[in-house]
Structure 1
Amino acid sequence: MSLSPLNWKLVIDTRDAQTLADFWAAALQYEVEDPTALIDHLLSTEALPEAAVAEHNGHRVFRGYAAVRHPEDPYDPFTGIGKGRRLLFQDVPEPKTVKNRLHIDIHAEADGLDQLVSHLETLGATRVREVDKGPAGRWWVLRDPEGNEFCAA
């Protein structure tokens, strides 16, 4: 039996899904998914209440949810939902309280770590600490705008 590549999404709990999606889209050079056509359809058929919708950056969005996808992966043009590598952000009522058990590593071009970290800071990341393991590597631990840890190497 031959398996085809799996589509996947990593779900991240947030306080502000739209803002965090914007950060990660810029950090990873991904695209924020645009569900406007799907939302318009669901509203017109009364399958979705207007209270479930918000506006962000000129697009209709699902209140409390946002997703980003790799720009080269396929997606459904009607729903805007990616069919490949995705991050889904969902608002939850409780705040983040402990260190992540899973995190993203972003890899810089050769000799580009300092430039990458500076760029991530302009997007809203915060440096936590630098790790230098000599020949084994050097990287930075950072936090995204909501305090989720990630690494730049």
Structure 2
Amino acid sequence: MTSYISHTTIDCTNAYELSEWWKPVLGYVDIDGDPNLPGHEECMVRDPQTGHQLLFIEVPDAKSVKNRVHLDLRPRERTRDEEVEWLLGYGATQVADHRGIHGPGSGWVVLADPEGNEFCILRSDAEVAAADH
């Protein structure tokens, strides 16, 4: 017998603020009938296309080391570089730049959200398809 992933949990100090930050990044929305509000210690959002859910939960511990698990994001509408620039303007910070690591057009950029949780920006599906031709 196997298990399935119910949702992905992100520990944080302010569940509402971080869930609100991530919603426009991912295009996620609040759960129907369960809106997230300031002061909520747990805030769940979901992808209206896939149903994947992220739970932001407040914990007393501050982040102190690199994440062992992180999100790898592929832009839906922009290129990798356009997405990186948008995210930096939106409040993400750049942790590492691995663009071109495997030749021209390859690689990814490691960013962090306002609480320091790392995530990677990969090339879009269109960029990957164009490189395969």
> Which TM class, normalised by the smaller chain length?
0.7 to 0.9
Q: Secondary structure at the match of 1:138?
A: coil
Structure 2 contact 97–108 (Cα < 8 Å) conserved:
yes
Change (3 A) 1:90 1:110: closer
The alpha-carbon deviation at position 97 of structure 1 amounts to: 1.1
Structure 2: which amino acid aligns with 1:128? V
The alpha-carbon deviation at position 138 of structure 1 amounts to: 1.6
Q: In the alignment, which residue of structure 2 is the partner of 1:149?
A: 118
Q: Secondary structure at the match of 1:88?
A: strand
2:116 and 2:62 mapped to 1: Cα distance? Answer: 10
1:148 and 1:116 mapped to 2: Cα distance? Answer: 17
Unaligned runs of 5+ in 2: 123-133
Structure 1 contact 126–144 (Cα < 8 Å) conserved:
yes
Paired residue for 1:134, among 92, 97, 102? 102
More strand per residue = 1
Q: In the alignment, which residue of structure 2 is the partner of 1:26?
A: 24
Q: Which structure exhibits the higher relative contact order, with contacts defined as CA atoms closer than 8 Å and separated by 6 or more residues?
A: 1
Identity of aligned residues (%): 35
The alpha-carbon deviation at position 141 of structure 1 amounts to: 0.6
- Report the number of matched residues: 119
Q: After TM superposition, what 4+ stretches of structure 1 lie above 6 angstroms from structure 2?
A: none
1:110 and 1:23 mapped to 2: Cα distance? Answer: 19
